[in-house]
């Protein structure tokens, strides 16, 4: 801890007289707009100031989110980010200075906001979201994401939804997800198993721009075609065992040289280092104002969910700022066959000396799920796969094996069935 | 709607049962398990194999076309599915060096649904059908092997001869190909 960290005290939030006056206006009295069950008073204020909220991502959206939340009365904020500060971030990620280049975003952002907003505690974690387990995520009341990758979003969505146990309301964590692409953005609320989740809307996500293979191979017309030719075809030919890393300047330089030569051959102009990196990493230019708008909407929803003082949005707000300005809020529908939230979570108890076949019989006898041809896998093992044929043959011997040889007590098993649109997450408990 | 504060108040004493951390099943894995579990009626021209049956993200497909230019050949592909499936398509490579207008000498395949036309509603089965179709109807308009495409366009008889010769390990224009008849 550095010496110039703000002094913390438990009553820190009250240190500055009147600082929460405006916020308290909404928390001290009921009103026609308050949500059902809203109870104004000290308890809700205390709750706002003490609940733990997690911000995932300390980039363009993350900087805005941390600032907004700290100024709205959230005082126990955690932030995760795996990146370090790059000089190109400084134009919009306003918690960073030139002297911070190379340092972890989460740590610099946390220190900056703590210094600027006395009494707020921000706990940074410099690393990947996948480093943390359920116990970590379970400590938060609300999780806000300001991420730029589909993969990271899918991971956190699945993690938070599968950890929700209906018998333990404490495990219910609303996710507020913000995203921007240039002048467009969206914010949305995901209530595990109650509203549409990220996976439900996977087909709405803009996919990375790709070009037909034959175009990049034979008839390039754009600088992007030359770069893709270098990154998709030539890289694999030259370095069959090396994974292309968009953050490695040497890799980008190699692609740039290859792509430039090809561009020259086809009289194409515009291949640059920035474009090469942009194509490889699928970078969409970020606009500071879009980040501010989307983050503000997310922080707003966090405040409403935390205090219940007004109705939260239901459940998706799209913001379009390139053609004039337009926003539209609608209810995104939950998908019944969503692999993450559409499935059913069940618990099964079985004597571990019984066989996998016994477990399958037990499952097929259950009237509430109606399985006919189940396939079963744990996170790492194919227990029994009904198809394709080679997998069926390879896993058939497992049917006669004892449960304890195949899994551990409390292990999660995914059950799918051709006749069932949904999947089932089964927790297997041993009886003995 | 929900009242998050009241949820908190209900909290029972004593957190979690602890226990060892188990690997989590990802959404990609669930979706893939569903896709694969439904492949129980493969056409007789296709066989799938899994070098490691526990690893469903990596597998091989063998296609034995029963008609067309490529009848009699046995064509092998590797599928690599990543954790961003089905947002991203599987990566498919032909493991043999073959003479085909839409497959280059490194095994890259020009099939629209493997790149620009991929959608999350598509699945492994759709890709397999697409690959099989390439052997029934090689397409001279989307060339990866430009020379082969040119021959197909200008002289189908010669193309047929080239295919037959290369499938047995022969060469065309100084390039020798893999024997795909075994
Ligand atoms: Zn869902």
The CA B28 to ligand 1 mean position distance, Å, reads: 13
**pLDDT tens for each residue of A43-86:** 999 999 999 999 999 999 999 999 999 999 999 999 999 999 99
Over 80: is that where the pLDDT of A40 sits?
Answer: yes
Catalytic residue among A214, A298, A338, A341: A214
State whether residue B102 sits within 8 Å of chain A by CB.
Answer: yes
Where exactly are the structural domains of chain B?
25-169
Average pLDDT over residues A235-247: 89
Over 60: is that where the pLDDT of A239 sits?
Answer: yes
Q: Other CB atoms closer than 10 Å to residue B109's CB: what's the count?
A: 21
The token pair at A69 is 């939340």
Answer with the residue of higher pLDDT: A9 or B129. B129
Look at residue B17 in the predicted model and tell me its pLDDT: 43
Average pLDDT over residues B120-142: 94
As a whole number of angstroms, the distance between CA A163 and CA A138 comes to 8
Over 50: is that where the pLDDT of A2 sits?
Answer: no
Look at residue A37 in the predicted model and tell me its pLDDT: 83
**DSSP letter, residue A185:** E
In this structure, the strands spanning A52-56 and A142-146 are parallel
**pLDDT tens for each residue of A298-310:** 999 999 999 999 9
Q: Do B40 and A387 count as a contact with CB atoms less than 8 A apart?
A: yes
Over 90: is that where the pLDDT of B163 sits?
Answer: yes
Catalytic residue among B32, B61, B109, B110: B110
- Domain A213-281 part of CATH 3.40.50.1480: no
Whether A214 is a known active-site residue: answer: yes
> Looking at the partner chain, which of B21, B40, B112 has a beta carbon nearest the beta carbon of A212?
B112
CB A387 within 8 A of CB B40: yes
Average pLDDT over residues A386-409: 95
Over 70: is that where the pLDDT of A283 sits?
Answer: yes
State whether residue B137 sits within 8 Å of chain A by CB.
Answer: no
The CATH fold of domain A346-430: 3.10.290
Over 70: is that where the pLDDT of B132 sits?
Answer: yes
Question: Which chain A residues are closer than 8 Å to B32 by Cβ?
Answer: none
Phi-psi map region of B174: left, alpha, beta (phi>0 left; psi -120 to 50 alpha): left
Look at residue A6 in the predicted model and tell me its pLDDT: 45
The token pair at B144 is 């990866």
CB A33 within 8 A of CB A77: no
DSSP string of B54-102?
A: T-TTEEEEEE--SSSTTTT--EEEEEE--TTTTTSPPEEEESS---BTT
Over 50: is that where the pLDDT of A376 sits?
Answer: yes
What is the rounded average pLDDT for all residues in chain A?
91
State whether residue B44 sits within 8 Å of chain A by CB.
Answer: no
State whether residue B131 sits within 8 Å of chain A by CB.
Answer: no
In this structure, the strands spanning A411-417 and B171-172 are unpaired
CB A428 within 8 A of CB A411: yes
**Residue located via tokens 């754009």:** A222
Over 50: is that where the pLDDT of B117 sits?
Answer: yes
Over 50: is that where the pLDDT of B21 sits?
Answer: no
Over 70: is that where the pLDDT of B161 sits?
Answer: yes
Over 90: is that where the pLDDT of A381 sits?
Answer: yes
Q: What share of chain B is helix, strand, coil (3-state, %, to 5)?
A: 30, 15, 55
**pLDDT tens for each residue of A184-218:** 999 999 999 999 999 999 888 877 788 988 899 98
Look at residue B9 in the predicted model and tell me its pLDDT: 57
The CA A339 to ligand 1 mean position distance, Å, reads: 7
As a whole number of angstroms, the distance between CA A407 and CA A412 comes to 9
Shortest alpha-carbon distance between residue A293 and chain B (Å): 25
The CA A167 to ligand 1 mean position distance, Å, reads: 20
Give the right CATH number for B25-169 from 3.30.1360.40, 3.40.50.300, 3.10.110.10, 3.30.2130.10: 3.10.110.10
Average pLDDT over residues B78-98: 95
Banded model confidence at residue B8, pLDDT cuts 50, 70, 90: low
Average pLDDT over residues A311-324: 94
Provide, rounded to the nearest whole percent, the portion of chain B with pLDDT above 70. 90
**pLDDT tens for each residue of A130-143:** 999 999 999 999 99
Look at residue A15 in the predicted model and tell me its pLDDT: 58
Banded model confidence at residue A1, pLDDT cuts 50, 70, 90: very low
Average pLDDT over residues A228-247: 90
Provide, rounded to the nearest whole percent, the portion of chain A with pLDDT above 90. 73
**pLDDT tens for each residue of A334-361:** 998 888 888 788 889 999 999 999 999 9
Look at residue A184 in the predicted model and tell me its pLDDT: 95
Average pLDDT over residues A97-106: 97
Rg (CA), chain A: 25
The CATH fold of domain A8-205+286-330: Rossmann fold (3.40.50)
Provide, rounded to the nearest whole percent, the portion of chain B with pLDDT above 90. 81
């Amino acid at each position: 801890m550095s010496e110039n960290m703000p002094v913390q005290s438990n009553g820190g939030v009250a240190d500055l007289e009147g600082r929460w006056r405006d916020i308290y206006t909404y928390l001290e009295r009921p009103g026609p707009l308050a949500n059902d069950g809203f109870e104004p008073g000290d308890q809700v204020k205390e709750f706002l100031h003490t609940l733990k909220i997690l911000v995932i991502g300390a980039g363009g959206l993350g900087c805005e989110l941390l600032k907004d939340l700290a100024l709205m009365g959230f005082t126990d904020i955690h932030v995760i980010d795996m990146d370090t500060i790059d000089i190109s971030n400084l134009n919009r990620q306003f918690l960073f200075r030139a002297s911070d280049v190379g340092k972890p975003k989460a740590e610099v952002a946390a220190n900056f906001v703590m210094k600027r907003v006395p009494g707020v505690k921000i706990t940074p974690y410099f690393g990947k979201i996948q480093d943390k387990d359920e116990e970590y995520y379970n400590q938060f009341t609300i999780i806000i994401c300001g991420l730029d990758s589909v993969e990271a979003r899918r991971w956190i969505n699945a993690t938070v939804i599968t950890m929700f146990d209906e018998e333990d309301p404490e495990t219910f964590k609303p996710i507020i997800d913000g995203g921007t692409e240039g002048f467009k953005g969206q914010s949305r609320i995901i209530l595990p198993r109650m509203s549409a989740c990220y996976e439900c809307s996977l087909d709405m996500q803009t996919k990375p721009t790709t070009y037909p293979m034959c175009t990049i191979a034979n008839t390039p017309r754009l600088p992007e075609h030359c770069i893709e030719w270098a990154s998709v075809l030539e890289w694999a030919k030259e370095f069959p065992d090396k994974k292309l890393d968009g953050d490695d300047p040497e890799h980008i330089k190699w692609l740039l040289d290859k792509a430039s030569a090809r561009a020259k051959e086809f009289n194409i102009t515009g291949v640059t280092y920035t474009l090469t990196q942009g194509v490889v990493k699928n970078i969409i230019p970020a606009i500071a104002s879009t980040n501010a708008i989307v983050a503000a909407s997310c922080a707003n929803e966090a405040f409403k969910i935390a205090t219940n003082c007004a109705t939260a949005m239901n459940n998706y707000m799209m913001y379009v700022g390139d053609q004039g300005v337009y926003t539209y809020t609608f209810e995104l529908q939950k998908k019944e066959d969503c692999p993450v939230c559409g499935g059913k979570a069940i618990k099964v108890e079985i004597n571990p000396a019984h066989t996998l076949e016994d477990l399958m019989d037990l499952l097929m006898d259950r009237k509430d799920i109606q399985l006919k041809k189940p396939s079963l896998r744990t996170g790492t093992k194919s227990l029994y796969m009904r198809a394709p044929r080679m997998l069926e043959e390879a896993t058939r011997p497992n049917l006669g094996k004892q449960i304890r040889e195949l899994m551990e007590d409390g292990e999660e098993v995914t059950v799918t069935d051709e006749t069932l649109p949904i999947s089932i997450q089964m927790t297997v408990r041993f009886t003995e | 709607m929900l009242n998050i504060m009241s949820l908190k108040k209900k909290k029972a004493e004593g957190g979690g049962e602890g226990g060892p951390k188990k690997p989590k099943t990802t959404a990609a894995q669930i979706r893939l398990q569903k896709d694969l579990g439904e492949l129980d009626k493969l056409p007789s021209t296709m066989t799938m194999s899994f070098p490691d049956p526990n690893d469903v993200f990596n597998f091989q497909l063998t296609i034995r076309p029963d008609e067309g230019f490529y009848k009699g050949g046995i064509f092998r592909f590797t599928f690599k599915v990543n954790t961003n499936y089905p947002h991203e398509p599987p990566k498919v490579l032909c493991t043999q060096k073959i003479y085909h207008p839409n497959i280059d000498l490194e095994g890259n395949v020009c099939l629209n649904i493997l790149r620009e036309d991929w959608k999350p509603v598509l699945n492994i089965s759709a890709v397999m059908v697409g690959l099989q179709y390439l052997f029934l109807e090689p397409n001279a308009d989307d060339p990866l092997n430009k020379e082969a495409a040119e021959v197909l366009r200008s002289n189908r008889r010669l193309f047929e001869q080239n295919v037959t010769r290369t499938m047995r390990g022969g060469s065309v224009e100084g390039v020798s190909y893999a024997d795909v008849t075994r």
